[in-house]
Amino acid sequence: RRVAVLISGRGSNMAALIEAAKDKNFPAEIAVVISNVPDAGGLATAQAAGIKTAVVDHKLHKKDRTAFEQALQAELQKHAVELICLAGFMRLLTPWFVGQWHERMINIHPALLPSFKGLDTHKRALETGVRLHGATVHFVVPEMDSGPIIAQGAVAVHDDDTEASLAARVIKVEHRIYPLALRLVAEGRVRVENGRCRIAEAA
């Protein structure tokens, strides 16, 4: 399966996916990394790993989300992309775009969904006093951070945690579960039934 990873920033999850996909037995290849931010740190990381990169700058399509998404779609088609991984991609996508990639686009969110949708998840987890926190990989649906859950990983919250220390613990889990979730999807083992994922055994 040909995969595009969409980023806006440093791209550490992207790097974890690139690393996993180096394995000959991994069922997906990273065909292209696309950023909506021209100077995203992850672009250099991808290039250093020999992966093709592209920039679709949302600022060139001011006030026109459709034009931005059409440019994105053109870039995806150019690279014959079959699956999309959002990895720290900080643009909301319209129902039109999401519909084009129904059950073929996944996202990683730094919280145990459905808790803490949106931004500042670690700060809110600390404020709420949850003892477990973590990360979730899910299919993308039009509503933000809401699609069927493919994989989750949990970490303990420590009494002396800061946002930074908690984030550092969660990101390690992200780097483990994202390649795992992509593998499941690329192998065709994930079926969505009544809004929930069912995972088939490996063949």
93 annotated as ligand-binding: yes
Minimum gap (Å) between residue 89 Cβ and ligand GRF: 7
Does residue 136 belong to the site contacting ligand GRF (CB under 6 A)? no
Residues 19-78 that bind ligand GRF (CB under 6 A): none
90 annotated as ligand-binding: yes
Does residue 145 belong to the site contacting ligand GRF (CB under 6 A)? no
Does residue 9 belong to the site contacting ligand GRF (CB under 6 A)? yes
At 189, list the tokens.
């083992």
Minimum gap (Å) between residue 39 Cβ and ligand GRF: 13
Q: Please give the C-alpha separations between residue 119 and each of 49, 57, 202, in angstroms, as whole numbers.
A: 29, 22, 35
Element (H, E) at 107: strand 105-109
Residues 93-122 that bind ligand GRF (CB under 6 A): 108-110
**Candidate segments 11-19, 54-62, 65-73, 124-132, binder of ligand GRF by CB under 6 A:** 11-19
Output phi, psi for 87, to 5 deg.
-135, 85
Under 8 Å CB-to-CB from 154, ≥6 apart: which residues?
Answer: 112, 132, 133, 134, 173
Q: Please give the C-alpha separations between residue 188 and each of 27, 123, 185, in angstroms, as whole numbers.
A: 10, 36, 5
Q: Which residues are designated catalytic? A: 109
* Reduced DSSP (H G I as helix, E B as strand, rest coil) percent helix, strand, coil of the chain, to 5: 35, 25, 40
Alpha helices in the chain (DSSP H): 12-21, 41-48, 65-78, 95-100, 121-128, 163-186
**Which one of residues 26, 45, 174, 183 is an interface residue with ligand GRF (CB under 6 A)?**
174
Output 10 or 70, the one with its CB closest to ligand GRF.
Answer: 10
Does residue 176 belong to the site contacting ligand GRF (CB under 6 A)? no
Residues that bind ligand GRF (CB under 6 A): 7, 9-14, 87-88, 108-110, 171, 174
Q: Residues at the annotated binding site?
A: 11-13, 65, 90-93, 107
